[in-house]
Structure 1
Amino acid sequence: MKVLVTGTAGFIGSHVAQALLARGDEVIGFDNLNDYYDVALKRARLARFADHPAYTHVHGDLADRDAVEALFREHRPQRVVNLAAQAGVRYAAENPHVYVASNVTGFLHVLEGARRHGVEHLVYASTSSVYGANTAMPFSEHQSTEHPLTLYAATKKANEAMAHSYAHLYGVPCTGLRFFTVYGPWGRPDMALFLFTRAILAGEPIPVFNHGRHKRSFTYIDDIVAGVVRALDRVPGVDDTWNGTTPDPSSSGVAPYRLYNIGSAQSVELLRYIEVLEQCLGRKATLRMLPLQAGDVPATEADCTDLARDMGYAPSVTVEDGVARFVAWYREYYGVRDTRDASAAVAV
């Protein structure tokens, strides 16, 4: 297939593009390489596949309506994976307009491109953050998500509603994937694992919010990519069992539309996550205990029953293995020699 992947210089987008190329698809990549974090890292991600004969890169911004329309008109992708967005949940408090421009207006431009140019299936990134103030665990797509706690989450919830409207009005099949705390090699420098690794190796304290007691469904990048590719291959239809009297948010009786959680079923406490990292680095961390941040939630836990049933999704990488793989990548990419004292390391 010819697949448009937005955000190919990003963490998840670069991995998805690589996976699609590896299986023989043609990939059109679209990214603006903004400087929210290290552009050199973004270029290094792209360099892994930029010379592939089936890859074409287009530099542009989703918020640029004309650029997105030209992208669809020139390349006419059969399917689209929209992973471009303004990254960083807390950054939205400082720069709300950037989030709306990228995550809402930009997504509108993708939807318009999909409807005008006959896209067979649009898969787009949502987030576990949409569950917001929900406390029933595990989080299920069948739950209401009416109480997002951050603007980032609100923009992603808006994406879900916009996708449903386009699926209904124009018949564009849309699948939204709610990602749960993705980590792994080539990750984002503003994410906890990256920040913690850098600080521990530098002998600096790490900030531990909620005193390390909050829990997350940490999900390794390879497991995420496997789910994205499976979702891309399964075009949703109208749900014949859907009932408008008791509407299920995860599907639709009037549109080819689905929502899925994608993450690890095992929720891990942050202190355990840090402990695993310490063992992989062979160094103890200095913990600076802090209260829960505004807009943060004490726990996330993914119910991926639907994704497993419909697509055979089965994440397999444990936190122990995933963190070890990240540390190995980090050392290689940044040229950090493993100088740990073997006697100080504790087996995971």
Structure 2
Amino acid sequence: MHETPFHLRVGQLLLFSMSDSNTTNFSNPSTFILLGIPGLEEAHVWISIPFCAMYIIAVLGNFMILFIVKMELRLHEPMYYFLCMLAVTDLLLSTSIMPKILSIFWFNSREIDFSACLIQMFFIHSVSAMESGIFVAMAFDRLMAICDPLRHSTTLTNSVMSKIGLAVVLRGSTLILPYPILAKHWPYCKTNVISHSYCEHMAVVKLACADIRISSYYSLSVIFFLTCLDLFFIALSYTQILRAIFHLPTKDARFKTFGTCISHLCAILAFYMPGLFSFLTHRFGQNVALHFHILMANIYLLLPPMLNPIIYGVRTKQIRDRLFRLFFRQGS
């Protein structure tokens, strides 16, 4: 059983919270064993091919976004600064899991140090929280650009952008920091084998031979708080955006204005939809095989980092133009 980093199965958390607290004579392991994708060990090498391809696309695409925004002075504006923040979080998110997953798939290197496991756990969940916060900030940017364009550049100054970025990082880090702190506190005596391909929070905590209700309820509270709050602000922003668009005089103007939001909306769907699907399969798909849940958890972390640079590269004319000029020069 497992959770996705940002969308947990409520029933699963409640089940984990009832862990036996009467076990004694324990000894904490210095390492954990990651199984990869339980039940599909024979296919690990084949599964690694699309996973590795997705990771390479994610790394190259997001580095390309960062390079283009840095080199193209016309892109030094709030929308693209937020895009750079998104690219950095995507790089951190995918890199926090893929090297270890590929080492499991290719070299059967399943051991992970306990401290390294806690560090990976922190990065996975905190960066996921940061990414959700960045989507809220990008929704605010679109709101200002469409509903109050005259004040857009004066409101979202470099100083304000820095403060927003710092707030997103602090929020994600502060809320997730108790995850590894509490996980380190629990005694582990059942097994050191994690039925997962990375150190996902509940997959680790459920191995504890103690009453883990604090971890379970705190994790559940954080997920509901972050998800509901962020989706509320995104929905609120787009309600105001759509209201402003419908007041535009011509259909062409409405389509053109709404077109500036398409990339952001596609990125939001790529981020939240896999998590929602995983949540629903956990909540209502009790008969779904464990390996399917683990695959979905991996795809949830890999799909957005791969798709985001593609979405913005295809939909954003300035990025497309810069890419064409870059490759045309290299080919000439």
Determine if the TM-score, normalized by the shorter chain, exceeds 0.5. Answer: no
TM range (shorter): under 0.3
Compare CA radii of gyration and give the structure with the larger one: 2
Return the structure number with greater relative CO, CA threshold 8 A, min gap 6: 2
Bigger share in helix: 2
| TM-score normalised according to structure 2 size | 0.28
Bigger share in strand: 1
| TM-score normalised according to structure 1 size | 0.27
